[in-house]
Chains A and B, each alone.
Chain A
Amino acid sequence: MIGIKEIGVYIPSRARDNFDLAKRFGKDENFVKNRLGGQSLPIMEPGMETSDMACRALDNLLEKVNLSKNDIDCLVVCTQNPDGDGLPHTSAIVQKKAGLSQNVAAFDISLGCSGYVYGLKVVQGFMMAAGLQTGVFVTADPYSKIVNEADANTVMLFGDAATATLMTSDNPVFVLGRSLYATDGEGAQHLITQNGQLYMNGRAVFNFVATKAVKQILHLLKNADLTVDDVDYFILHQGSRYIIDTIASRLRAKDKVIFYMETTGNTVSSSVPLILEKILFKKEAKKIVISGFGVGFSMGSMILEQSN
């Protein structure tokens, strides 16, 4: 079965200091550390494109595994901030920049914070249906392109990062288990770009996540005949420290929910794989629940199981 074998990451070295931003917006250090969570917010270099971030993550992946670029026969990029104006699809640009084979199947997925959970199954299903062997699923959604510098609600929250997940049936580390997906387009207006800039109604997003995401995770566990106790780690989309704490508290799983966004901020679809990369080879990470939620309002949750 096609699963996850390795994950490459790219986090730009250039970053905004969130404590500096806090001073500008009249917030204190505690607010940055315990409410927002991101202390340093990476931003891609001027002149860099989404495809460049994707290529850096892909390069990092290729440094970790014994894989030729010619072996890659499927490339999927998850982004809502593609190169240029979005035409052509960013995955085609990555194919050229990265020097991948012209026989690669390449397409983009337009999803935000739920994108990784959706994308894993999309890539797996597509590869199985098309008889493909070696897929790379990239997340690269640089919100620095759309964030409003004058809006504390968003400029203090988001950071740029990219990831590249190798998907293959050749000894995967994690196999994909049960999953659940949901959409509430009624909430679409609360996290949206208007005139090229990001707008977020924090209260509406918080209410959505605190209620529906938690319910979805519990529903998923029930479907799989599992309880919170059976799960080794919960890897949740790192929306903010406050969101993570709220979900962890509602799940009654504070010691199992991983928090990792101090040096990244909210990296949209990259937040889950950035954490997954860190625990990929931990023996105790036998059963994991990943969950992404946000833009749309869209959400997805999935069980990952160590394959051996």
Chain B
Amino acid sequence: MKVQFDDIVAMIKDANTMINIESLTEEVNLRDVGADSLDMMNIFLAIQEKFGVEIPDDDIAELTDIKAITNYINSNIE
């Protein structure tokens, strides 16, 4: 089953970040809706724990919005 936009939004809600959930769209840059570097770490850890997808430091720079994140998970999920 493919990971969807709503799955990531739910995960971000659980992660207690400073992101304004109402402002989330598929392509909005998470940094533009309140996320800082620590929030991004928290989100990447939640992805790792929930979907079993490890995200190396080198890949982080590209994962700036939910669309990029869902694509990344779906192409790396086992």
Contacts and interface: CB of A to CB of B under 8 A. Distances in A.
B41 A206 contact: yes
Interface string A201-223: 01100110011000000000000
Interface residues on B, range: 10 to 19
Interface string B34-49: 0010100110110011
Given A245-B16, A249-B16, A31 B45 contact: no
B62 interface: no
A31 B41 contact: no
B57 A203 contact: yes
A203 B16 contact: no
Contacts of A259: none
Interface in B30-74: 36, 38, 41-42, 44-45, 48-49, 57
Which secondary structure characterizes the binding site on chain B? helix
Interface string B11-43: 000001000000000000000000010100110
A178 interface: no
A211 B41 contact: no
Contact of A211 (B16, B38, B44, B49): B49
Most chain A CB within 10 A, of B38, B42, B49, B57, is at B38
Nearest to A241: B38
A134 B3 CA distance: 60
Given A211-B49, A245-B16, A249-B16, A203 B36 contact: no
A30 to B, nearest CB: 9
A244 to B, nearest CB: 12
B45 A242 contact: no
Contact of B45 (A35, A202, A210): A210
A207 B45 contact: yes
B26 to A, nearest CB: 25
A31 B57 contact: no
Nearest to A250: B16
Nearest to A36: B38
Contact of A202 (B16, B41, B44): B41
Nearest to B16: A249
16 contacts: A35-B36, A35-B38, A202-B41, A203-B41, A203-B44, A206-B41, A206-B42, A206-B45, A207-B41, A207-B48, A210-B42, A210-B45, A211-B45, A245-B16, A246-B16, A246-B42
Given A203-B57, A207-B48, A246-B42, 11 more contacts: A35-B36, A203-B41, A203-B44, A206-B41, A206-B42, A206-B45, A210-B42, A210-B45, A211-B45, A246-B16, A249-B16
Q: 9 closest Cβ contacts across the A-B interface? A: A242-B38, A203-B41, A206-B41, A207-B45, A249-B16, A35-B38, A210-B45, A203-B57, A246-B42
Interface of A: 31, 35, 202-203, 206-207, 210-211, 242, 245-246, 249
